[in-house]
Every structure is written in structure tokens, then in C-alpha cells.
Structure 1
């Protein structure tokens, strides 16, 4: 695993427009039961402009930044040797259909444990006004036999 990745800040992603049907599809896929994730009127009754994405929806936007990381040729990240170790989300506000989001990843740490590497990356997600929406933190485990 290339230790020089620690602290690397990747380019911001192109804007991702959150679609109402994408939110509904995601909500159904993760068995979300909050009516505000499926019904516009229920969302509006709760003070939102449109349907509200389930909390894990941020992974859709984060994946755009992880794709950048996986594209680094000398990273030492062979996808067949990578498993997702953990995932966390820290929200400032919920994601709502109609949001236009950009994201930027930074590699915060790489640790070696028992011959395996653990890479932690934080992705900040921002709305069209540049306001923070959520930080998604992923830890990827890379088997030691990847080299």
C-alpha cells in the first residue's frame, strides 16, 4: 500500500443531481420505512422541499470519489483484494431530492495490521452553495497478498 497517499486530497467530483426516483429506489433497496423517503407530501409535512434520502444514500456520491482513489495506478489497491471494513456518516443536514452535490476525498490514514493494510478515507459532500451536507468515512481493508 502506497503510504504517500496519506493526506492526498483528490479533485472535487462533477455535480451530482439527486433525483426523486433515485431516492425512492434507494429507499426501497435498503428497506427504508420513513414515508418522507418515498412520498413528497410526507416529506413536505416534515419541512423538506422533496423526498429525503435515507442516511446511507451518501455512499452513492462517495463512490464517485472512491473511484478516483481506485484509479491511482501506484496506490496498491487491487480491487480483488479489497473489502469494505467500516462506514460512517456525519450529517449537517439530510440529502433531499433536488440537491446538487459535489464531493471531495482525502486519505486520512493507512495502517498495516497482520500483513494487511487498512486505508481510511473521508469524503466531504457539499451542496451547490458550497455548504457541508455530510462527511462519509470509509475504511478499506486490503489483503496483504495483493502485492
Structure 2
């Protein structure tokens, strides 16, 4: 089944709040080799004006993943996980993510482009803090491969 074009414009419900933990930020920073002190040392982060350790920019993907799971499990979407790869990622920040933030995300499918038998699905996850203030927009492009020739 091809990707359902009716997904374009679809907005999914907000995710449950994700509490950003200091240790999660530290673990993520180590994993992506972000060794600046504000990612692991609360005092270094406070010296820069932050309340706690600052997440590396790509940390937003942790929160965005909850929205992408909604999309990937949408019945009738035509998205087969075994034929899907994460092709592109972008972030547009209003402010950095800091330990202690409670973040929710709302995903909107903004476009589907057909490339041969494949489909490229673009979506924006608007991530906001507990006060409802914008923190970051995480844009993903998923490449969904077309179904193979069953007779080959």
C-alpha cells in the first residue's frame, strides 16, 4: 500500500509531558560527543545564565520521537516501518532545552513527495514547555521505500 496522501495536514494530539532529566542530558551529550561543560556541569550552565545543564541541539529528537511513533503507528498510513529510514532532520530553536523542562510535542505532516516508488514524508514537531511557550520545531523527513516486486 502506498503512503496515504491524506496524511498531509494531519495534526496528531500532543504527546504526554516529557520531563528533561539532568542525567538524560549528560548521557545524550556523551553519546553525541558534546563535551562543552554546560552539557554536564550545572555550575557551568548557571554561569552561562541557565537554570541547569543545557541539552545539545539534537536532544530535541528524544522528544520528537514520541510524535514520530504516533505517525508510524497510524492505521491506514501506508508507512511500513521495515521500509522506512530517517532521511533528514532540522531544528529551529527559540531557546535551548534545559534539564527540568517539561516538554510536549505536536506533530503535523507538512508534505508527502513521491520519488519513483518511494515517498518522502515531511513533518514538523512543535515542542513547547509547560507554559506553552515554543522551544523548538523539529522537522523530519522519512523516506518510505516502495513495496518490492513480489514476483521477482
Normalising by structure 2, we get a TM-score of 0.95
Deviation at 1:146, TM superposition (A): 6.5
**How big is the alpha-carbon RMSD for the aligned residues of Structure 1 and Structure 2?**
1.1
Q: What residue is the counterpart of 1:73 in the other structure?
A: 75
Gaps of 5+ in 2: none
Cα separation, 2, equivalents of 1:117 and 1:90: 24
Which of 109, 112, 119 aligns to 2:111? It is 109
CA separation of 1:57/1:146 partners in 2, compared to 1, >3 Å: closer, same or farther? farther
Q: Match for residue 64 of structure 2?
A: 62
Q: Is 1:91 aligned with 2:103? A: no
Distance 2:19 2:36 in 1: 22
Q: Does 1:118 align with 2:123?
A: no
1:115 CA drift (Å): 1.5
Higher-Rg structure is 2
Q: Is the 8 A contact 1:118 1:139 kept in 2?
A: yes
For 2:4, the equivalent position in structure 1 comes to 2
Contact 1:81-1:146 within 8 A present in 2 as well: no
Give 1:114 deviation, angstroms: 1.8
Tell me by how many angstroms 1:37 deviates. Answer: 0.3
Q: Which runs of 4+ in 1 moved over 6 A?
A: none
The one of 127, 132, 135 equivalent to 2:137 is 135
- Aligned pair count reads 147
Q: Which blocks of at least 5 consecutive residues in structure 1 are unaligned?
A: none
Matched residue, 1:41: 43
Separation in 1, partners of 2:95, 2:114 = 34
Of 8, 15, 24, which residue of structure 2 is paired with 1:22?
Answer: 24
